[in-house]
Structure 1
């Protein structure tokens, strides 16, 4: 809840109580205060539909204040107009307003993403890429949007830095895809705040910076984990998140073209042999690496020329993006290490594995669905159980021996599949049983330790040396094969 939103709601509650308690002068003073607060709120914070009840109530109460409210002439319940019943109804109305208004702005808050902990400021840059060597089902060249977060540097006289607003277009399109509700309901997300500065210069504190590629989940967006991208960039990485067009829920291109996924939000293929889409995603990642090589040679925007260390590359992804990360390690030898965040392994990775170091970051339930959730999918409970047993066995097998490089497994007891992303920041209803900031601190701490060693070639962090570690909401184990 924003400051003036809260004050405005409190003033309206007091205003309601004043209708039958105070004289006309006090009511007019409250009206003026409410008007000033409303103007300040709209001017500095902006309107949003969650405050609709308060806006309507302001108009009604202003009308009652201008035209004195004559209690004797108003019939609230019946001709008898019993005093106690009237009072109860009046209090009931105030309570409905109070809980409705406070409830809406609380469960759908305007939020600020957590501040990154690294020594760098964070820059952000968008790129539109066109791969003429590949075509989609309509025989158009494959188009991709990528988002780049990178270590940035402020000049000494930089005081009025403007951080980018939360990318509500990508998020509202994604939420429309998932929940089948109009995206206008999520327009208020534009008031959210990131910690990224658009197109600011890359920091000169280091000559060049290693690359981390990120792949989003099925039917999600490249913007799904901004807080994580910012955290990694603040520690000296160029982080590149890719929208896998048509598989992403919603993609908007610079010319205004919008591409919504044509799949059903619950049509994910529960079949590890179904590798077609994950191979397409892996090719996206290799193509992006090719483009980064060109940007490093000469960037038309003069941001990244000579700043990208193409000899130090890692990859990670969430859900189906974790599957993509594993596939890209098998397909592209330029990538030296990878992380799978709560995703299954598909073929051919499921059978062959790969050589590079790998970390599994999983939820204890590991993609498990209840019978109620399974009814929205295209499989039976029996088929899902068979699939779930298979992906669990594969994760255990590849952790122990299938993957030839050092392997790690971080398992969270708390949270769920979406706690790994920025979803919990959208509403306390999505994070009521867990401290999201602490969850992300732990996850990002292990991710940084992993990439610092296997991509930046730093000494192995003691965090990764412990063969087994258990905490109140996660446990960690290590399978070091080359140390």
Structure 2
């Protein structure tokens, strides 16, 4: 197709493409944090040889830039094995396998932040938000979205799940490739949800462990408010979020971004606040939300974002917006991801999340109720908050 040739040509001559920056008032720093759970063998290791479960997380840290500007550092959007994995997926729709390689992201470089800047807001507390990727997805394909939320004053932590994620490259260079799972097998999704839930509980334990976190946050001009802890996720990650809030009392609420709900969540009541956010027409394609709705016993709401498809809630829309594509290419992409402007979607999602966190952490429901008035693409389908 003509537009695919245009993309190939553009990528072949572009050394680097900067992912559009976040819109919030805070600069954002990013740290990778590998965590090893020695209390369990890795249940997903196909060789059965792993005596521990080795996770990798990204911490997106808001930095108050009102007093002192933060020097910037540019890093690759994806590690090479993750970019290669998503590149292989791109070839299935006729796009080049190098599609994700040119992208880079800009962050605040805490190492170059002056000591005065580091100390100026050391006592400022930020809520902690965990993010769960979709089934067999990398946390990195949501990096721009996580950074964007962090720019509004939240510490965002995204988690990769080894052997399920398409690939993970650890800071020491170790690479774990993903394996294929068949979601039609009735045993697969419950097993993966159990593994993911155990992963998240372990991650929370480590985030609360000062011996682990003190060196990680030594140059961070702020602190984490562990009492303000919520979780959200896309697709299967959204369903996992519902399971996590049932299992871990420290997590006060969750949000499912366009994810089908499966057992064991579908068979259990959820007493804590929970929000469903779907692409346009989600309930017409997925009956699980109607089945799940009576299980939500706490404050609840379902919202829909117009002109979106399931894939819109990854970074792809934002990535392609950074490319100077012909109209035919944009039209083809819209058929797969939705026609919504990615910058508007960013505002819509952050608006929903911040309003929901206002309810969770401060008991204020006005912002969430006002969402349709402030964001024209968003509709409240039902709710009781």
TM-score by length of 2: 0.80
Aligned to 1:230, what secondary structure does the other structure show? helix
Q: Deviations over 1:194-223 (max 9, x none)?
A: 242355567727522111000111111011
2:204 to 276, 282, 289: 289
For 1:99 and 1:287, the matched residues in 2 are separated by 43
Aligned to 1:135, what secondary structure does the other structure show? coil
Aligned residues: 356
Contact 1:211-1:312 at 8 Å conserved across structures: yes
1:99-178 to structure 2, matched below 5 A, reads: 100=5, 104-105=9-10, 111-136=17-42, 137=45, 138-140=48-50, 141-153=52-64, 161-169=72-80, 171-176=82-87, 178=89
- The 3 A distance-change label for structure 1 pair 287 and 190 is same
For 1:305 and 1:156, the matched residues in 2 are separated by 12
1:115-264 to structure 2, matched below 5 A, reads: 115-136=21-42, 137=45, 138-140=48-50, 141-153=52-64, 161-169=72-80, 171-176=82-87, 178-179=89-90, 186-187=97-98, 189-199=100-110, 204=121, 207-263=124-180
For 1:282 and 1:99, the matched residues in 2 are separated by 40
1:38-437 to structure 2, matched below 5 A, reads: 100=5, 104-105=9-10, 111-136=17-42, 137=45, 138-140=48-50, 141-153=52-64, 161-169=72-80, 171-176=82-87, 178-179=89-90, 186-187=97-98, 189-199=100-110, 204=121, 207-263=124-180, 267-269=182-184, 271=186, 274-295=189-210, 299-301=214-216, 302-303=218-219, 307-366=223-282, 391-392=286-287, 394-399=288-293, 401-427=294-320, 428=330, 429-431=332-334, 433-437=339-343
Displacement of 1:446: 0.6
- The 3 A distance-change label for structure 1 pair 361 and 159 is closer
Aligned to 2:289, what secondary structure does the other structure show? helix
Q: Deviations over 1:7-54 (max 9, x none)?
A: xxxxxxxxxxxxxxxxxxxxxxxxxxxxxxxxxxxxxxxxxxxxxxxx
Aligned to 1:336, what secondary structure does the other structure show? coil
TM-score by length of 1: 0.65
For 2:76 and 2:165, the matched residues in 1 are separated by 21
For 2:299 and 2:372, the matched residues in 1 are separated by 15
2:346 to 440, 444, 461: 440
Structure whose residues are more often helix by fraction: 1
For 1:133 and 1:325, the matched residues in 2 are separated by 23
Displacement of 1:139: 3.5
Q: Deviations over 1:406-449 (max 9, x none)?
A: 11111133121110110123434434733122122112211111
For 2:244 and 2:262, the matched residues in 1 are separated by 12
Tell me the C-alpha RMSD between the 2 structures: 3.5
Contact 1:168-1:187 at 8 Å conserved across structures: no
Matching residue of 2:381: 477
For 1:287 and 1:362, the matched residues in 2 are separated by 29
Displacement of 1:230: 1.4
Q: Deviations over 1:391-416 (max 9, x none)?
A: 52x312433x3211111111133121
- The 3 A distance-change label for structure 1 pair 178 and 269 is farther
For 2:103 and 2:220, the matched residues in 1 are separated by 28
Displacement of 1:358: 0.8
Matching residue of 2:323: none
Aligned to 1:194, what secondary structure does the other structure show? strand
Contact 2:122-2:221 at 8 Å conserved across structures: no
Matching residue of 1:453: 359
Contact 2:237-2:256 at 8 Å conserved across structures: yes
Contact 2:20-2:318 at 8 Å conserved across structures: no
Q: In structure 1, list runs of 5 or more residues that go unmatched.
A: 1-95, 369-387
For 2:4 and 2:163, the matched residues in 1 are separated by 41
- The structure having more radius of gyration, on CA atoms, is 1
Displacement of 1:166: 1.8
For 2:25 and 2:301, the matched residues in 1 are separated by 27
Displacement of 1:362: 0.9
Contact 1:146-1:241 at 8 Å conserved across structures: yes
